[in-house]
Chains A and B, each alone.
Chain A
Amino acid sequence: MPDWAGPVAHYVLHEGLPNTLRVGAIAIAGSAIVGIVLGTLLTIDFRPSRTVIRLYIEVFRGLPILVTVFLVFFGLPAISHTFEFNALNAASIALVLWGSAQVAEATRGAVQSIPREQHEAAAALGFGWTERHAYVILPQALRRLLPPFVSLLVNIIQNTTLAGVIGGLEILQAGERQSERLTSPPPIGVGHIHAFEIFAGVAALFFVISFPLTRLAAYLERRLV
């Protein structure tokens, strides 16, 4: 490995990677919780709540995620200072808004695919709406949700790079800063351009994380559906 590569790899792996993983983890957990709740509520036959959730889903699935990131990062602080977030948190929130819309749509489909009799049998056993869904319907629906959820995981991990666009120090931003640094003459950089190696390395890092997950999604799809 050439001399310049060591510090670059160290910076990307120690400064960038933890933030990428943190944004990804928040986005995935948030998307799952918000999405499953909204998706389940969407199956209730009550027009006002359905309209609001439907609008939420269509808006955040329709907007480019980058625009959602800008809305959270630049738009919310203009409304009130309480909504001022740093780049990483703003990206996490934007990814939750987008991811939860995806999960909600998938959950609605999964819940509605559970046969009517399951609802009726649970009701006959004396379960109310909440227990019926918590103990009978959702455990079955979530199984069907697993393959699309793993695909979403891959999407979210790749979209954590959007945090870098607004200056958050994730993998891609770390690579970008190093690539710029190296172009300066020594002692700061090496006076050469190594952009290709660095960004190819960043791509390889994402590939190593994503590829097993896409294989897993394909496997689950065959197994569970």
Chain B
Amino acid sequence: MPVALVPGGGHPAASLLPAGYDLWKFVSQYHDELLAGFENTLKISAIAIAGSYAIGIVLGAARAHRIPLVSQLAAVYVELIRNTPILVQIFVLFYGLPQFGILLDQFSVAWLAVMIWGGAFHTENFRAGFGAVSHNHHEAALALGFRPLSAFLNVTLPIGARIALPSSINTAISVVKNTALVYVIGYAELTTTALNISNLTLQTTEALTVLAIVYLTLVWSLSGAIRLLEARLALPRA
């Protein structure tokens, strides 16, 4: 496709875009599909974020308190996930597991893969967070008659989780961005939807514009909102 030189001059920026570029028409025509894709992105992001936080808090606590066996298994899990590409993990889940009779559909692999990935990073975040809680706090709680579990829930968790907050938020945002990767198994989230439309209609530039705008808006507003939350939840300076 040649560069679209607008006849009679026109806006200089217009010549950068391919002939017939019409973002507005693209969006209004495929509004429903794109919105459904965006909803699926939000859906798998939400499930994966919630699940990965749960994994991270439980395994992070096991790592920080060196609970035998669980701690070692968690370490293996973290290193395996952090040192292999998430795309390979998606492929193992989607194409590898059926060999053992475990058939997961695209939706399940989509949220599961991103959740497992996020869980490993959250385990590290919370291990560091819980590890940074002064040992005296924990001992004081035990001396007051708290059982180990309630000492963790009432003392270590509220303090450690807030220490881990900034790094865990970065992980959560990465989880959202990584949902785009389930494009490779064809789950109809935003990236897959936009690319499929562009494959049918050749409106590639419009589809990519939509992707860039939606993801940047999502990620930027998330990190903006979170910075506000962070200021409210931050530990008061002693």
Q: Which residues of A contact B178 (CB under 8 A)?
A: 64
Q: Which residues of A contact B180 (CB under 8 A)?
A: 64, 66-67
Interface of chain A, helix or strand or loop or mixed?
Answer: helix
Partner of B92, one of A59, A67, A70, A196: A196
Interface of chain B, helix or strand or loop or mixed?
Answer: helix
> Which residue of chain A has the shortest Cβ distance to B79 in the bound complex?
A211
Interface flags, A51-63, vs B, CB<8A=1, else 0: 0000000110011
Contact B96 A199 (CB under 8 A): yes
The A-contacting residues of B in range 90-109, CB under 8 angstroms, are 91-92, 95-100
Whole-angstrom distance between the alpha carbons of A206 and B85 in the complex? 7
Whole-angstrom distance between the alpha carbons of A78 and B206 in the complex? 11
Q: Which residues of B contact A158 (CB under 8 A)?
A: 83-86
Whole-angstrom distance between the alpha carbons of A175 and B100 in the complex? 19
The answer, yes or no, to whether B216 is at the interface (CB within 8 Å) is: yes
- Given A59-B216, A79-B3, A195-B99, also A172-B91 (CB < 8 A): yes
Interface flags, A69-90, vs B, CB<8A=1, else 0: 0110011001111000000000
> Which residue of chain B has the shortest Cβ distance to A165 in the bound complex?
B184
Whole-angstrom distance between the alpha carbons of A168 and B196 in the complex? 20
Interface flags, A161-194, vs B, CB<8A=1, else 0: 1101100000010011001000000000000011
Contact A71 B84 (CB under 8 A): no
- Given A67-B212, A196-B99, A203-B92, also A79-B82 (CB < 8 A): no
- Given A62-B219, A195-B99, also A210-B84 (CB < 8 A): yes
Tally of chain B residues near chain A (CB < 8 A): 43
Partner of A199, one of B83, B88, B177: B88
Q: Which residues of B contact A58 (CB under 8 A)?
A: 220
Q: Which residues of B contact A211 (CB under 8 A)?
A: 79, 83
> Which residue of chain A has the shortest Cβ distance to B15 in the bound complex?
A79
- Given A67-B208, A67-B211, also A200-B216 (CB < 8 A): no
Contact A179 B87 (CB under 8 A): no
The answer, yes or no, to whether B153 is at the interface (CB within 8 Å) is: no
Top 8 closest pairs, chain A to chain B, by CB: A196-B96, A64-B180, A210-B83, A158-B85, A195-B95, A64-B177, A203-B84, A62-B219
List, sorted by A's number, 21 A–B pairs whose CB atoms are closer than 8 Å.
Answer: A64-B177, A64-B215, A70-B208, A71-B212, A74-B208, A75-B204, A78-B1, A79-B205, A81-B2, A161-B88, A165-B87, A172-B85, A194-B99, A195-B96, A196-B92, A196-B96, A196-B97, A196-B99, A202-B91, A203-B85, A207-B80
